[in-house]
Amino acid sequence: MTPLAEILRAESERGGPISFHRFMDAALYHPEHGYYRRDRDPFGKEGDFFTAEQLQPVFGILIAARIREFRRQMGEPEDFTVVELGAGRGEMAPYIQNLLPLSPGDRLPVRFQGVVFSNEFFDALPVHRVVWTGEEVRESMVDWRDGAFVWVDGDRVTDEIREYVERYFPESAGRSSAEVNLDAVRWMERISRSLQAGYVFTIDYGYSASEAKRFPAGTLMSYRRHQASEDVLADPGERDITSHVCFPALEGYGLETIRFETLAATLLTAGEADQFAEALSGPDEARRRLQLKTLLFGMGETFRTLIQRR
């Protein structure tokens, strides 16, 4: 049993089943035993998964080119700030000027203009899990029974969760479970208050309103040593846990949606001006061409980009 499993087991035995939001938050962000807080690198060949940011320098160069275009469209303001949500290992820092990296627990600047950029940030925010029991929606809880964490049905959902479900999962026939990402809503509300002018530039994997019905049992997955599993309750603190992003839940908030497209389309736009010359030039051109191919035809077709403007 992992050290974090001991903590969560004692918590459930002491106070009853805990919400999955609490379980996922601890599994990823517990200050000592959380997956992203432990003294290890979860990324890359020796870790548990790859991200687009690891395909450097091509990814960084192209994203920086797109952000420079945003700044140009704003009239080249001097007080232009790029806030990166979930900066990870800081791999974007060499490519973007005026970059302010933020972790999930950090606060946005009170007022600024520029770009809020994120890559695989919203999919790692803790979510509530809900289940349909007949026509009723209940919160899915986590309990410790017979030596393992298991799902148990909880009470009726709160009004806030119910509103989210009714808005983003209006057709519940045939659906058994779903994730409710209230943390994403709160982040978008903070962004809306702080960003006075500029763009919100979000890269992640997820679904549109019409695609939500493709996931009748939800989208929760765990990752360990490049192996995906639907068992998200095993070994808390030792596995990454993600859920697909409900992109409609990121829209609105006084922001105008400019483009919703594949990552490949975003990168093609970024490289169009110089025909990818900046991204591909250098002594390691062959490696860079392979990175570009992976970004355009691998991750580029799986990941989506949401560009919003204020």
Average pLDDT over residues 107-123: 96
Q: How far apart are CA 5 and CA 231, in angstroms?
A: 14
Q: Which of 46-60, 76-90, 250-264 has the lowest mean pLDDT?
A: 46-60
Q: How far apart are CA 280 and CA 291, in angstroms?
A: 9
Highest mean pLDDT out of 182-191, 273-282, 286-295: 182-191
The secondary structure of the chain as a DSSP string is --HHHHHHHHHHHHH--EEHHHHHHHHHH-TTTSTTTSSS--BSTTSSB--GGGSTTHHHHHHHHHHHHHHHHTT--SSEEEEEES-TTTTTTTT-TTEEEE-TTS---SSEEEEEEEES-GGGS--EEEEEETTEEEEEEEEEETTEEEEEEEEEPPHHHHHHHHHH----TT--EEEE-HHHHHHHHHHHHHEEEEEEEEEE-EE-TTTGGG-TT---EEEETTEEES--SSSTTTSEEE--EEGGGGSBTTBEEEEEEEHHHHHHHHHHTTTTHHHH-STTHHHHHHHHHHIIIIIHHH-EEEEEE-
Sorting pLDDT into bands at 50, 70 and 90, what band is 258?
very high
Please report the pLDDT score of residue 40 as a whole number: 62
Please report the pLDDT score of residue 246 as a whole number: 98
Mean pLDDT of the chain: 93
**Nearest-5° Cα angle at 102, 288 to 293:** 15
Q: How far apart are CA 60 and CA 76, in angstroms?
A: 20
Average pLDDT over residues 289-308: 92
Task: Tell me which residue range forms the domain holding 9.
Answer: 3-309
Q: How far apart are CA 265 and CA 305, in angstroms?
A: 9
Q: In the structure encoding, which two tokens stand for residue 60, read together?
A: 């960084």
Please count the structural domains in the chain.
1
Please report the pLDDT score of residue 42 as a whole number: 54
CA atoms within 13 A on the CB side of 112: 20
Burial of 2 (0-12, 13-18, 19+ CB in 10 A): middle
**Nearest-5° Cα angle at 50, 185 to 287:** 130
Please report the pLDDT score of residue 46 as a whole number: 47
Please report the pLDDT score of residue 226 as a whole number: 65
For residue 7, the tally of other CB atoms under 10 A from its CB is: 16
Q: How far apart are CA 67 and CA 290, in angstroms?
A: 23
Which CATH number goes with the domain that contains 123?
3.40.50.12710
Model pLDDT for residues 183-213, shown as the tens digit of each residue:
999 999 999 999 999 999 999 999 999 999 9
* 49-85: burial string, b at 16+ Cβ within 10 Å, e else: bebbbbbebbbbbbbbbbbbebbeebeeeeebbbbbb
Please report the pLDDT score of residue 286 as a whole number: 92
